[in-house]
Amino acid sequence: MVVLVLLFCFPPPCIFATISLIKIDKMIAAGYAEREIKEILSGEKTVAEINWRLKMRALGYSEQQIKEREMKKQIIAVSVMKKAVKNLGQALLETQNYEGVIMPIIAEACAQNGLAVSFFKALIKAESNFNLRAISPKGAKGLTQLMPETASLMGVTDVFDPMQNIHGGAKYLAMQMRKFGSKDLALAAYNAGPGAIKNRRIPHIEETKNFIKRVLHYERQYSFLKPP
């Protein structure tokens, strides 16, 4: 009984070899060529792909014609993928709030710039409410509300491209965090400009003060922390 349990839990290598031989025998019996069996076992080709090639051969297609058709299928697949990406981009443009869709980009930008996701996400919420097309009266644009000069400084060429805008905003916020060392001052610099920070104090600008309060409020919500 103990031997059977051991065999079941720790089957010897010969059992796996036997299973592989059975698979190979079945594939040979099914008409697969040696090269095709190797492709299937190595994972280079799927059974479905091999079966498609067998079907083409059965219909009288030459190997060259099969290769041409495979290439055409790949081109069509790439085209379909590009169209899907384009449609997604259009869907994003037509959506005013798509917080969940851009979260992977936010997470990536935060990881690259050493920011807490809840903090940067709160900034986007306060700046644009996750509206890709947001434009402020002063000319700040996109999700992170980049001014033209800031966007250029951060290497952003299209402020309405979510990827560029988010990474540009994260890079700029991280720059202020390194320079001023606190969230309050970094947010003040982000909103009013670094030049507005004098003697390491938040400038007496009502809009900037309200902006800091909103961001920190949203950060507490995203961090599942109760307000103090």
Determine the Cα–Cα distance for residues 38 and 23; give it in Å rounded to an integer.
Answer: 12
Would you give the distance in Å from CA 142 to the centre of its chain?
19
Give yes or no for a contact between 106 and 124, defined as CB atoms under 8 angstroms apart. yes
Q: Which of 68, 127, 207, 219 is catalytic?
A: 127
Q: Which residues of 87-98 are buried (b: 16+ CB within 10 A; e: fewer)?
A: eeeeeeeeeeeb
Helix axes 47-58, 63-93, angle to 10 degrees: 130
Residue 108 among the catalytic residues = no
Q: Which residues, including other chains, have CB under 8 Å from residue 54's CB and lie 6 or more apart?
A: 31, 32, 36
The CA radius of gyration of the chain, in Å to the nearest whole number, is 29
Catalytic residues: 127
